[in-house]
Amino acid sequence: MSELNQQEKKLRKQEQDLIFREMSQPISLNIKYQRKHIKKLEIEEKSEQNDKLKNQD
């Protein structure tokens, strides 16, 4: 039982650390990452559209 409690405490600590890290991360980095992700999605979408057009021919 105590081993389980220790694991749970460890996991909670890790979770808190993660949350703290996310909170303390500069917002600009977050925005930068989101923009990158959006670009990637747009590129994937365009390539899918191109594939569809090629398949229609």
Sign of CA dihedral 40, 41, 46, 47: positive
pLDDT at 55: 87
Reading the block at residue 53, the tokens are 């057009």
Report if pTM > 0.85: no
Distances (CA, A) of 34 to 18, 23, 30, 37, 54: 19, 16, 6, 5, 30
Residue 46: predicted pLDDT = 92
- pLDDT in tens for each of the 57 residues of the chain? 799 899 999 999 999 999 888 887 777 888 888 999 999 999 999 999 999 888 887
The pLDDT value given to residue 42: 95
Provide the pLDDT for residue 26: 79
